[in-house]
Amino acid sequence: MEKLTVLPYTPQLEALFTIIRNKDTKRNEFLFYSERIIRLLIEEALNHLPTQEKIITTPTGTKFTGSEFVGKLCAVPIVRAGESMEKAVREVCRAIRIGKILIQRDEETAQPKLIYHKLPQDISKRHVLLLDPMLATGGSVCKAIEVLKHNGVPEEKIIFINLISAPEGITTFQNYAPGVKIITGFIDPKLNEKAYIIPGLGDFGDLYFGT
């Protein structure tokens, strides 16, 4: 499978992105529609987890050859904005383990700073869904990958899920962690001089949390 997956730009997805990118969208609408896109992303990410064959019997008494997921999972939001993606993960993976990595980008220099992390003890044995809605320069997510690798998680067991990516961030990320899969909703054309994604949607964390 390819390392980079972009959600198919269906009429539905286009309409959802149009709402969340609109500067006139009210906060409750932003929450509702961004969470719909996040749900699509999480569902797509699950397609990239390993499965094995499973044969069951249907109520008609007939055998059916299907599949089941194998292995253990963990979700790790990059706090703060990544926490917006936690709800959708919990809805599809009940009782999933959740780690946290708190990274903040300096508003002037756009350099990421690692402030805190707490991960399940056995994280090295789990597949990790790394969550952050925005991939701009790629600095924050690379720092998060560094933390995961330091805790024994191989690149091949990490899936990074985000809503909007900038090409610069994708290149930086793929050079830094070529074994990690990326699932993104859309690739925007560029960054501006303040390292914001253009056209983007502004500061996702501020919009989502209302700060």
Instruction: Tell me the C-alpha to C-alpha distance, in Å, between residue 108 and each of 111, 165, 170, 195, 197.
Output: 8, 20, 22, 10, 15
- Indicate which single residue of 77, 99, 200, 205 sits in contact with ligand PRP (rule: CB under 6 A): 205
- List, in sequence order, every residue forming a beta bridge with 120; answer none if it has no partner: none
Site pattern 134..173 for ligand PRP (x: CB under 6 A): xxxxxxx----------------------------x----
Site pattern 116..155 for ligand URA (x: CB under 6 A): ------------------x-x-------------------
Residue 119 binding partner per list ligand PRP, ligand URA, none, with a CB distance cut-off of 5 to 8 Å that depends on partner kind:
none
Of the pair 38, 81, the CB lying nearest ligand URA is at 81
CA angle 83, 84, 87 (to 5 degrees): 90
Residue 209 binds to ligand URA (criterion: CB under 6 A):
no
CB of 77 to ligand PRP, least distance (A): 9
**Contact positions with ligand URA (CB under 6 A) in 43-82:** 81
Structural contact between residues 182 and 173, judged by C-beta atoms closer than 8 angstroms: yes
Give the nearest residue (CB) to ligand PRP.
205
Judge whether 203 counts as a catalytic residue. Answer: yes
Among residues 187, 142, 192, 194, the alpha carbon closest in space to that of 167 is found at 187
